[in-house]
Structure 1
């Protein structure tokens, strides 16, 4: 991930979003992964950055939902 990209992650049963390189979370916490991902994808598209989903075990293996990078949509 590059600085400024957005990451969705899970900690102690709660989902969060943050901007890579910053210690603060981005917005509110979420009860479900789907809600966190929806908010993060919107923020990533608005900022034209990548979005990654991580679990407590590490990076998500399911990248199919995220295969189109927001930067690729502009042109």
Structure 2
């Protein structure tokens, strides 16, 4: 299975999705809603976490779509 969480973020006037470890954005969108939907689909397909950032770069939300090794077991 592919590795690398998916980040949705704002840069240079556009909303982008990038897979952790890649140097370039995987997709570019005009609106946060479009980028978030595409990022969610990418994360679901890869079985990884989707990190959604606000325009200022701070994390606004996270969703996990796989076996999250960071979650507690108990």
For the pair shown, the structure with the greater C-alpha radius of gyration is 2
Corresponding residue for residue 32 of structure 1:
31
**What's the TM-score once normalised by structure 1's chain length?**
0.74
Work out which of the residue numbers 36, 57, 66 in structure 2 matches 1:71.
66
Larger helix percent? 1
> Is the CA contact 2:9–2:17 (under 8 Å) kept in the aligned structure 1?
yes
Shift of 1:71: 1.1
Unpaired runs of at least 5, structure 1: none
What is the Cα-based RMSD across aligned positions, in Å? 1.8
Corresponding residue for residue 53 of structure 2:
54
Residue-by-residue CA offset, 1:35-75 (whole Å, 9 max, x unaligned): 000000001001000001123422233x3xx44x2115xxx
**What's the TM-score once normalised by structure 2's chain length?**
0.74
The structure 1 segments of at least 4 consecutive aligned residues displaced by more than 4 Å after TM superposition are: none
